[in-house]
Structure 1
Amino acid sequence: MPFRTLILPLALLLLPLSSQAQQADTPPEQEAAVVEQDVGTLQAELAKVEAERQRLADELANTADHAEVEQLSRQNLALRDRLSVMEKVADTNQAEEQRKWFIVGGATVAGSLILGWLLAQLGGRRKRNEWTN
């Protein structure tokens, strides 16, 4: 309520000094009419000031919302860029992992074939003609 505390000093500035001097010399009926007129003027000023305050508050809220939307848009764009980079890295890592396991599998097959051939050459199995004797 800071506006209410400002209204009294503003009201005193708006009233001319001569009308204040005349009020002391005027009868109570005229004084009441002047006071009512001053109250009406002050209420009109209050309504104008309140409307201006509301307009400025709305403008400030819209500006704050707009700035927040801009900030969120920039942050969203940065996160999308970061996501695309991370997806590329993940794809690269997955391809490297597949190549590694392909090489491991191929080496296992090749090693098994070579080991089997070597065992056959060393005489790891008996010849068929020995069984017929």
Structure 2
Amino acid sequence: MDELAFHARRPQLNPVPCVFEKAILSHCAHCELASRHALAERELVACSIEVAQINCTMLARLFRERATFALRLPLLGLPVAHAKAMQLQCGGLHGLQAVLNEPTPDVHVMVRKALANDASLLDLPWGTIVSHVLAWKIRRRAAKPQS
């Protein structure tokens, strides 16, 4: 399937895409509301509740807004490189997990707990979360054995 056909078909198959799809597909986190779908050779992650997706969208925007300067990201609205997007998602969720003292990185559970504790995602300790974003490193592929 070519890239244009993939992007044209994606919204029909996945009308409520998971905001943290990259983190879920790379096993940095999981979510009890996520459902996986296959499209051609690719895997998509959908959110089963729209309100949860709105909360996650707000959290992802806050990750980006708070870490923009530290990560030297482009202005809001411009695309972010894959490695930086992974760092934002995985590092941000890892930081949120540490701040909330959660045993597992379940996105929906953490967002619910953050909203219950602070009543607003804006009141989270962003300095600690951003330090986890900065510390997170993408896994490198193992070196091929030389023959």
TM > 0.5? no
- Structure with more of its chain in strand, by fraction: 2
- Structure with more of its chain in helix, by fraction: 1
The normalised TM-score by structure 1 is 0.26
The normalised TM-score by structure 2 is 0.24
